[in-house]
Structure 1
């Protein structure tokens, strides 16, 4: 009888070390959850595009497609050459027209005055938020001009700024001579822009107040504890905290100044005196409505669009840099 011991018998169903047990699911059943897991992130990535697709289609159909048609129409002729391709002839006529060059110079003036148009509602919103003396008055009346029609605003200021109007009468009492606010080519554009800022700053102020609602009050309290002045609080706390709001107001205010002053111009100066208050939108209306030159008006519209695009991008880049430095 041999003394050799035999290893214990293992069940027949047991495999090698690390092998699959008898209860493990088949390969196809184990791979199904993994396929669903791989499918899940892809669906999540596609969901935002599916949700924004209707809005993109509306923008393409109602904005970009008409814009492309307008740009294409600007390369066709007017009058006897109606619909015929003329290349860049319309653009050559534009830049050769003294009135259009005046309109472009006025666009440059608006860009220079844009920081003032943004600073006024921004400071008023700051005063209301910080509850400085007089904030209740501004809170009560700031939006009133925004509900008035540009025609009504223009008519009111035509009376106030007339050569024999109440403003010049007030200046005469303090020893200053009368000013021809709407008849002097060097002053008329500033007068119209000032009226436009007065009539529209209420909308920008509403946006600033909404931005202040997201500002961290603890930062203001910390600045006060550190003894910061009002100017330091505005520059080092409020401006960085409202950087996105300021960028939005800059862009929307610029678009409003370039595309929403037609009513004031038509009522107050009609482009005069001597064409000094022409803006591209008023020039477009003159070419289309009075001279029946729609292709030239389309070329002017294309130039206006490019100006707004370039100026808007430059403003955003400068504002981002200024916020980083502050």
Structure 2
């Protein structure tokens, strides 16, 4: 056999295998550090705690969760987070739009907006706990203009909104960077045509920028949702510790309480499994709705 075709065949085979070889380490890390622990956690959720440790108990842990007012309240708060998600995405999206359109001072705003993202959640929580205290500076400012003090972190109807608001403030810088990267793929000729036609800024945003950034918006929606459901523990722990009366409980805080304080790892695994399923379902629904609206536009 001619050695030249043989070398060409080996080269083609190597080129076909190259992508798989390059991806293999990342896939291995995901399987070993993500998927395998996930499977173990789901399996562990069907076992018991305490005297029944390691014993199969079927769906008992899930029945216990559904009968626990704290966990039910945590799921209710998840619904609130999903309802507030468009606001959490719209804020960095609008700010990125203004920066992209080069409003005066846009370079300074780019740095200022990203700064909170580098702060530790514990530091952010400590700062806002002082600001929002009943005798803190915010209530002092309200008192100076004749408005009564508000128990920002002690009122069950207000506390969860404060924690979510602080989380959005502390994390929207990352979404802002993603939006700015998405603007690099936007067709500038469409913006120029809209300006020439005299379109107002709201119409430019709705009819040009939003359709052009549909994939970026989908990505930010999903990542922001995941961040809300899995990255608020530090703020909750410092600002409210789940209170008042469990009003600011979220599944991740409930999981920590069951695992870290009450030593009920199987129940915590069941709660983690429910949280994972909620994220998957909500994420798929969001992507489906956004894709459908993108096709309609």
Question: What TM-score, normalized by structure 1, do the two folds share?
Answer: 0.85
Choose the corresponding residue for 1:119, options 90, 107, 131: 90
Cα deviation per residue 1:254-306 (whole Å; 9 max; x = unaligned)?
A: 01000000000000000000000000000000000110000000000000000
Choose the corresponding residue for 2:170, options 189, 199, 224: 199
Runs of 4+ with deviation above 3 angstroms: 35-51
Choose the corresponding residue for 2:123, options 144, 152, 155: 152
- With 292-301 and 41-50 compared, the bigger mean Cα shift is at 41-50
Choose the corresponding residue for 2:204, options 233, 236, 251: 233
Equivalent positions of 1:38-49 (< 5 A) are 47-49=18-20
Cα deviation per residue 1:117-160 (whole Å; 9 max; x = unaligned)?
A: 01000000000000124534422311111111111111111111
1:251 corresponds to 2:231: no
Which ranges in structure 2 are unaligned for 5 or more consecutive residues?
Answer: none
**1:40 deviation in Å?**
8.6
| Distance of aligned partners of 1:94 and 1:122 in 2 relative to their CA distance in 1, 3 Å threshold | same
Which ranges in structure 1 are unaligned for 5 or more consecutive residues?
Answer: 1-27
Which residue in 2 is equivalent to 1:139? 110
Which residue in 2 is equivalent to 1:211? 182
Count of aligned residue pairs for this structure pair: 296
**1:44 deviation in Å?**
6.0
Which residue in 2 is equivalent to 1:101? 72
Computed over aligned residues only, the root mean square deviation of the Cα atoms, in angstroms, reads: 2.0
Choose the corresponding residue for 1:165, options 136, 146, 154: 136
- With 88-97 and 42-51 compared, the bigger mean Cα shift is at 42-51
Counterpart Cα distance in 1 of 2:285 and 2:224:
15
Instruction: Please state whether the residue corresponding to 1:186 is helix, strand or coil.
Output: helix
Counterpart Cα distance in 2 of 1:243 and 1:51:
29
Which structure is richer in relative contact order (CA contacts within 8 A, separation 6 or more)? 2
Which structure features the higher share of helix residues? 2
1:55 corresponds to 2:20: no
Equivalent positions of 1:219-298 (< 5 A) are 219-298=190-269
- With 128-137 and 109-118 compared, the bigger mean Cα shift is at 128-137
**1:170 deviation in Å?**
1.6
